[in-house]
Amino acid sequence: MSAPVAIPPGFFSVKARFNGQILCRANARGSVWAWRAPSAGHLASPACLFIPARQRSQAHRLAQSAAALGWHAAIRAGSSCAVWQSGPLASAAPALAVKVRLPPGVSASSARALLRNQLKRAS
């Protein structure tokens, strides 16, 4: 059994499919920062940034930009991402989302800025 995670103001949590709960914070432009709070006996997962995409080409460009930065990225159906399956964002699931695993020490705002710059360079 895992110890409950204190939820800071501006954050919300959703149940993870496995290994605890997910602590989330939505950005005004639609991206969601998320971190899986581990259950007892499990290691913490890296923080992730979920970025909504309207079209597969947009999702592909975002994933390529993340890869160019050396980050792992995966394109998923928005409805399959836990951050949009329940909680306050359940009715706002995008068609597609790019899940970007953030390296230690990289904040969500820094990641968004780096991705924006990488997208500009690639254009």
Question: For position 4, what pLDDT does the model report?
Answer: 58
First to last CA, the chain: 48
pLDDT tens track for 2-14: 555 677 778 888 8
Decide if 22 is inside a domain.
yes
Decide if 6 is inside a domain.
no
Decide if 102 is inside a domain.
yes
pLDDT tens track for 19-47: 678 889 999 888 999 998 777 777 778 89
pLDDT tens track for 73-110: 999 999 999 899 888 898 889 999 999 999 999 999 99
Decide if 3 is inside a domain.
no
Decide if 30 is inside a domain.
yes
Inter-residue contact 65 to 113 (CB < 8 Å): no
Count how many Cα atoms sit within 13 Å of the Cα of residue 33 in the half-sphere of its side chain. 15
Q: Is 50 or 45 the better-scoring residue by pLDDT?
A: 50
Inter-residue contact 123 to 117 (CB < 8 Å): no
Decide if 69 is inside a domain.
yes
pTM: 0.87
Query: Could you say which DSSP state residue 86 is in?
Result: S
Domain extent, residue 58, equals 12-122
Residue 17, pLDDT above cutoff 80: no
Q: How many domains does the chain have?
A: 1
